Structure 1
Amino acid sequence: MTGGRDIADGDSRGDPLGSPRAGSRRIPDETPDTTKGLGSAKGADLAREALDAAKARNAAARNAAARAGKRTSGSGAAAAGVSRRLQRRRWSGPGTDRARDPQLLADTVGSWLSAAGAGREIVKASVFARWADIVGADIAAHASPVSLVDGELVLQAESTAWATQLRLLAPGMITKINAAVGRGTVTRIRTRGPAGPSWRFGNRHVPGRGPRDTYG
């Protein structure tokens, strides 16, 4: 600290306490005081060090966040790539892509027959072959299918009475036939009774003279 020395005009050595005497004068100390600016200098250094430390922490935090973002984006892209590969490899099941997916044999054969135009003939053959199983043995014993064209089934009855009976039973027979061989196979039934006797023989004939007494 800044101080001074008290020098008496006379001899002060006799005073054991070295207290100044009356009439003494104070001489300033020539030693410079270096502790005045020490506090301010230390405060500036500490502030600078704290600022540098804060900057370093902020930079480290930014770098860590950037690294974490890269890892997250990289893992997300990898997961997306794996998901796309799995989607490409996953089976879609029958029926989704008919060109590549496995299909049922019955559906495939049916589609092929329909494209070839053979479906109608196969349905017709199925109705004729399974006639007794479809309509029952009682009806099959008295009527037989003759033709199936454009949904119209023509039946031949063995008698006029059975022809009339078949006309009454037609709605139920249509339901049974469509349930057995496919919906829309038969839409209507036409029944024919027994035909009268014919005296035509061969491919060539001439018109007759009309009704007459054949056995007269």
Structure 2
Amino acid sequence: MAQAKADARKRGTLPGQGKKKARVPAVGRMPGRGGDPRRFGVAIRDLLADRGWEQRAAVGGVFGNWPGIVGPVLAEHTRPERFEDGELVIAADSPTWATQVRSLAAQLVRRLNQELGQGTVKRVKVVGPATGPRRTGGWRVR
């Protein structure tokens, strides 16, 4: 028995192990996964990255956390409408608030880029409340 152990050590194996076979990955498995389950957060981040949805998800987070980003007072009078091609459109509930938010546009761009990553938001467009068409008539100044 001692002789067998000594011979096995010479070959670089332990008794009872024999030669190690090269492991062949199973067909259909994702490379590097090894079949083990992954944490949910990691799986979601990988899915977003694979599909190119990272920016959309971040912008959706801004829409969902608007009061946390701009503060409760500003959030009470404004809401994000849409985000396209680096432009965030914000709707204000009155012309006064629209003017106030326009004066804060540069600060909002900085704050949003801190949240989303530099260069994501290039411009903030502020719209006031929608009013109907103006009536024409004799009392209108020309």
TM over 0.5, yes or no?
yes
Is 1:147 paired with 2:82?
yes
**Counterpart for residue 117 of structure 2:** 182
Distance in 2 (alpha carbons) for counterparts of 1:167 and 1:212: 30
**Counterpart for residue 73 of structure 1:** none
Native 8 Å contact 1:163 1:192 kept in 2: yes
**Counterpart for residue 53 of structure 2:** 118
Distance in 2 (alpha carbons) for counterparts of 1:108 and 1:170: 36
Q: Deviations over 1:70-124 (max 9, x none)?
A: xxxxxxxxxxxxxxxxxxxxxxxxxxxxx749xx976764343133133233122
SS at match of 1:145: strand
Is 1:169 paired with 2:113?
no
Where structure 1 has 5 or more consecutive residues not aligned to the other structure, the ranges are: 1-98, 199-209
| Residue from 70, 80, 83 that aligns with 1:135 | 70
Distance in 2 (alpha carbons) for counterparts of 1:129 and 1:111: 22
Distance in 1 (alpha carbons) for counterparts of 2:64 and 2:43: 23
Superposed CA RMSD in Å reads 3.2
Distance change >3 Å, CA 105–CA 178, structure 1 → 2: farther
Native 8 Å contact 1:153 1:189 kept in 2: yes
Native 8 Å contact 2:90 2:124 kept in 1: yes
Q: Report which of the two structures shows the higher radius of gyration computed on alpha carbons.
A: 1
Q: Displacement of 1:212 after TM fit?
A: 3.5
TM-score by length of 2: 0.60
Where structure 2 has 5 or more consecutive residues not aligned to the other structure, the ranges are: 1-30, 34-38, 138-142
Q: Which has the higher contact order (CA 8 A, sep 6+)?
A: 2
Distance in 2 (alpha carbons) for counterparts of 1:109 and 1:159: 39
| Residue from 186, 193, 197 that aligns with 2:128 | 193
Q: Deviations over 1:3-40 (max 9, x none)?
A: xxxxxxxxxxxxxxxxxxxxxxxxxxxxxxxxxxxxxx
Is 1:159 paired with 2:90?
no
Native 8 Å contact 1:155 1:189 kept in 2: yes
Distance change >3 Å, CA 136–CA 162, structure 1 → 2: same
SS at match of 1:147: strand
Distance in 1 (alpha carbons) for counterparts of 2:135 and 2:78: 30
SS at match of 2:80: strand
TM-score by length of 1: 0.41
Moved more, 184-193 or 118-127: 118-127
SS at match of 1:166: helix
Paired residues in the alignment total 108
Bigger helix fraction:
1
Percent identity (aligned) = 33
